[in-house]
Amino acid sequence: MPPHSAEHSPSTRPALNVLLAAPRGFCAGVDRAIQIVELALAKFGSPVYVRHEIVHNRYVVESLKAKGAVFVEELDEIPETDQPVIFSAHGVPKSVPQAAKSRNLFAIDATCPLVFKVHMEASRLHAEGRKILLIGHAGHPEVEGTTGQLPAGAVTLIQTAADAEAFAAEDPSRLAYVTQTTLSVDDTAGIVAVLKRRFPAIVGPHKEDICYATTNRQAAVKAIAGKVGLVIVVGAPNSSNSLRLVEVAERAGCPKAVLIQRAADLPWDAFEGVSAVGVTAGASAPETLVDEVLEALRQRFEVSIEQVTTANERIAFNVPRELREPAA
């Protein structure tokens, strides 16, 4: 509809159709990790120390800081204390709980149960005498946590199909692979296919390591990508699952996909000539930030919203026992 005047009065704002991907946003592991910090603060008061960002989202971290959480990168930044020390949802190398124990720190582990499953799997396969290939991204805390479950040199990181082609096995009959939980489903399938072709005896996890939430969020983006001119992913630049959603959107036929942290980051020039946009959020992004983006769109456009649901999630994880018992 052509504008009747230069001002965007409600009747003259350009129309914009928003396809809202579902599922999006928080997964059960993120939900649980945030709950662990909040329950620890409620039960033990502040400060509650958290090693590494509890989940990869600045808004979440800042809100927990405001409630009394103190974030550190390493345990040696924590003074002698009886207050809780929480490990992030991404999981930690074995050396971290050991260091906490040697200092008698009161540690609470917020590792996502699905990441913990990968740790157990890697340990089991290693105990069978197998060389472990970990499909994942170098430097990601989850990869560091999984690698750190086993002795140095027991795990080889495979980041790409090219890495899988180049890997030289000492004993092809004693190989196994596990994966980071937040990878691209399609990329990972490609890497696994190369490994299985080259090493037919390789053993994989009993059940796929990529978590249900990563898989579901990618499927939801695929369902909308071909119908819109722009996909907006709400998430953090260091969030692996959010970055994957941008890639999945572009590969599934969307001309342009962008990752933003908040509504203030919306790239308005990218809306030029676009009549439909897709909106989703990574597994560590709260729904508040999605609402903020929709509100910003309503300020400029006559917005109609259609939710596109590809799965219903009803998964929830229990919090650790220390936080379930009432305070003495």
Residue 142 and residue 235: Cα distance in Å, rounded?
A: 17
Fold annotation for 13-26+212-309: Cobalt-precorrin-4 Transmethylase; domain 1 (3.40.1010)
Question: Between 9 and 241, where is the model more confident?
Answer: 241
Two domains, one topology: 13-26+212-309 and 28-112+317-324: no
- pLDDT higher than threshold 90 for residue 316: yes
CB neighbours (10 Å) of residue 102? 9
Q: What is the pLDDT of residue 207?
A: 84
- pLDDT higher than threshold 60 for residue 146: yes
Q: What is the pLDDT of residue 8?
A: 55
Q: Where are the domains of the chain?
A: 13-26+212-309, 28-112+317-324, 114-198
Strand locations in 99-211 (E): 106-109, 131-135, 155-158, 175-179
Q: What is the pLDDT of residue 327?
A: 55
Q: Taking residues 280-306, what's their average pLDDT?
A: 97
pTM: predicted TM-score of the whole model, two decimal places: 0.91
Q: Taking residues 209-233, what's their average pLDDT?
A: 97
Q: Taking residues 41-45, what's their average pLDDT?
A: 96
Q: What is the pLDDT of residue 6?
A: 44
Percent of the residues in the chain that have a pLDDT greater than 70, as a whole number: 96
Selected catalytic residue, list 7, 80, 128, 142: 142
Q: What is the pLDDT of residue 208?
A: 86
User: Catalytic annotation on 142?
Assistant: yes
- Please state which of the ranges 148-152, 200-204, 309-313, 322-326 shows the lowest mean pLDDT: 322-326
| Res. 324 pLDDT band, cuts 50 70 90 | confident
| Res. 1 pLDDT band, cuts 50 70 90 | very low
CA distances from 93 to 101, 140, 239, 253 (A): 14, 12, 19, 39
Q: Give 173-207 pLDDT, tens digit per residue.
A: 999 999 999 999 999 999 999 999 999 999 999 88
What are the backbone angles phi and psi of residue 226, rounded to the nearest 5°? -75, -10
Right CATH number for 28-112+317-324 from 3.30.365.10, 2.30.30.90, 3.40.920.10, 3.40.50.11270? 3.40.50.11270
CA dihedral 48, 52, 55, 57 (to 10 degrees): 100
Amino acid at the residue 264? A
Percent of the residues in the chain that have a pLDDT greater than 90, as a whole number: 94
- Decide: 96 and 51 in contact? Cβ < 8 Å: yes
Q: What is the pLDDT of residue 11?
A: 65
Q: Taking residues 85-92, what's their average pLDDT?
A: 97
- Decide: 133 and 176 in contact? Cβ < 8 Å: yes
Q: Give 96-121 pLDDT, tens digit per residue.
A: 999 999 999 999 999 999 999 999 99
Q: What is the pLDDT of residue 267?
A: 98
Q: What is the pLDDT of residue 326?
A: 67
Q: What is the pLDDT of residue 328?
A: 52
Q: What is the pLDDT of residue 12?
A: 84
Q: Give 54-72 pLDDT, tens digit per residue.
A: 999 999 999 999 999 999 9
Mean of the per-residue pLDDT values of the chain: 94
- pLDDT higher than threshold 70 for residue 5: no
| Residue 312: alpha-carbon gap to chain centroid | 18
- pLDDT higher than threshold 80 for residue 4: no
Residue 143 and residue 73: Cα distance in Å, rounded?
A: 16
| Res. 7 pLDDT band, cuts 50 70 90 | very low
- Decide: 192 and 175 in contact? Cβ < 8 Å: no
Strand partners, 108: 86
Q: Taking residues 59-87, what's their average pLDDT?
A: 97
Q: What is the pLDDT of residue 165?
A: 98
31-68 burial: b if 16+ Cβ within 10 Å, else e: bbbbbbbbbbbebbeebbbbbbbbbbbebbbebbeeeb
DSSP secondary-structure letter at 118? H
Q: Taking residues 30-51, what's their average pLDDT?
A: 97
CATH code for the part of the protein at 114-198: 3.40.1010.20
CA dihedral 192, 149, 122, 50 (to 10 degrees): -70
Q: What is the pLDDT of residue 148?
A: 97
